[in-house]
Structure 1
Amino acid sequence: MINAIFFDLSGVLYDDDTLLPGALETLAALRAKNYTLRFLTNTATKSREQIVAKLQNLGIELSPTELFTAPDAAQAYVKQQRLTPFALVHPSIQPLFAVSGAPNCVVLGDAREELNYHNLNKAFRLLVQGCPLLVIGDNKYFPEGRELSLDAGPFAHALQWAADCKVRVFGKPSADFFNQVVATTEFAPSKCLMVGDDVLGDVGGARDAGLQAVLVGTGKYQPGDAAKLTPAATKVDSVADILHLL
């Protein structure tokens, strides 16, 4: 029996600035049936406030406590450990990591054009000195219009390989991230269902953390992704099919 449902955002509930068919109806029906809902995103190009505003503009109502973002998780860790990061992140979330002083860690996210040789080399030099690598979301790619674009994951893996260092991932597919969200519910991981469009980051990560998982055939879904699912996970055409699945 499922008691809580976790939703990825982009590619599951909306694409760019357009709601996907059935998204609002599905969320409303689930709330009416008293399911606990959570919204998880690795989006690292918008602040938390921008994400909430976008959801509300699309007609998706949620409590701030229902939203969990990878940048927030990374910022909380940096504060907890009293680190001073070299933050190679998007300008919209740069203020989250604005700490003065000599950097003693590297925070890497979807920095777009800032992921250039100069900045990556600066990060590399810090890592070979022993600074830890903190990564906001370990995704390979994301949909951008009708095409796919590289996410932060490939750059993180390149730095990890070159500097021969360990990496700490914040956001999906980190089991710590899923466990953090599960802990805000009253239920065991096996009673929670993750709905996502990333066969590895969403579905694979959730399964590794003990959750149930569903892959939707929208967003970044690619032909052949369904073949990568374990028998414990399943695939549906879109978020509109979640109610029928339950």
Structure 2
Amino acid sequence: MTQAVLLDVSGVLYQDSVPLPGSVDAVAQLQAKGYPLRLVTNTSRLTAAEIHRQLSGMGYVIEPEQIYSAPRAMRHYLEARGLRPYCLIHRNLEAEFADLLEEPSPNAVVIGDAAERFDYLHLERAFHLLLEGAPLLAMGINRYFRYQGALRLDAGPFVRALEYAAGVEALVLGKPSAAFFQGALEELGVQAPQALMIGDDVEGDVLGAQKAGLQGCLVQTGKYRPGDEARAPNALLAQDLAEAVRRYC
């Protein structure tokens, strides 16, 4: 029986800064039913504070601490180990890592969705640090995301390129990492089989959740593409968040 719900953000709650039909009411229904919630996202173009501000502006009534993001998990990991990161991240995320960006002599490489910063100069710097023994830490390995009606390259292809070039394997601290899901579950105080993950990304959201022991539900919005459900035959399927909440919660 479902005792807690994890929701992806972009592609499930909204698309291009516009709430998806029925999604605001669906979140309100989950809250009215008493489900503990976490909004779990690999979004690494925005700080958690900005995500909360945008969602509030769309009509979602949530608390800042209900947002569990890959950048947040990354900060915890770096701080716990005293690492000095070279951050190849989006300009919008710099505020969340401002104190760490000034660290001298980096001994770790952190990759988020850096957009136009994924150029030769920055990737070359990361490559040489990896050759010197720095670990490769990724906020996610998503292949793409949907923005302004088109699919856009995400951080995953660049993480894979660095892995190949330097002969290393990235530690992924966002979805689909089991540790990421476990971190959200620990905050909620529930075990994996008691939680339902609802997302539009068959790999990062649904298969990742299933491997971590959660139930997964794939919604046919956002980055969903026809046929994705065949890759996760044991997952629940819904047209959108509103139908997922109506049928499975």
Q: Shorter chain as normaliser: what TM range?
A: over 0.9
How do 1:50-69 residues align onto structure 2 when only pairs under 5 Å count? Answer: 50-69=50-69
1:234 is aligned to 236
Map 1:1-246 to 2 at 5 A: 1-95=1-95, 96=97, 97-231=100-234, 233-246=235-248
Q: 1:78 to 1:186 in 2, by over 3 A?
A: closer
Q: Alpha-carbon deviations, 1:182-205, whole Å to 9, x = none?
A: 111232111100000000000011
Shift of 1:154: 0.7
Local SS of the residue matching 1:183: helix
Uncovered stretches (5+) of structure 2, i.e. residues with no partner = none
Deviation (angstroms), 1:136: 1.0
- Counterpart Cα distance in 1 of 2:28 and 2:94: 34
Aligned counterparts of 1:28 and 1:243: Cα–Cα separation in 2: 10
Unaligned runs of 5+ in 1: none
Q: Report the Cα distance in structure 1 between the residues aligned to 2:35 and 2:115, rounded to whole angstroms.
A: 37
Deviation digits for residues 26-49 of structure 1, max 9, x if unmatched?
A: 111111111111101111111111
Q: How many residues align?
A: 245
Q: Is the 8 A contact 2:219 2:244 kept in 1?
A: no
> Aligned with 1:106: secondary structure?
strand
Amino acid corresponding to residue 78 of structure 2 in structure 1? V
- 2: distance between equivalents of 1:75 and 1:243? 32
Q: In 1, are the aligned partners of 2:237 and 2:244 still within 8 Å (CA)?
A: no
Percent identity over the alignment is: 42
Contact 1:46 1:93 in 2 (8 A): yes
Task: Report if aligned partners of 1:11, 1:197 keep a CA contact under 8 Å in 2.
Answer: yes
CA distance in 2, matches of 1:214, 1:167: 27
Segment of structure 1 superposing worse, 92-101 or 143-152: 92-101
1-side partners of 2:137 and 2:172: how far apart?
6
Q: How does the TM-score come out when normalised to structure 1? A: 0.97
Cα distance in 2, alignment partners of residues 184 and 47 from structure 1:
19
Instruction: Give 1:158 deviation, angstroms.
Output: 0.9
Provide, for residues 189-239 of structure 1, a one-character-per-residue CA deviation record: whole Å limited to 9, x for no partner. 1110000000000001100100001000000001111111132x1211100
CA contact (8 A) 1:85 1:99 kept: no
Amino acid at match of 2:152: S
One-letter amino acid of the counterpart of residue 244, structure 1: R
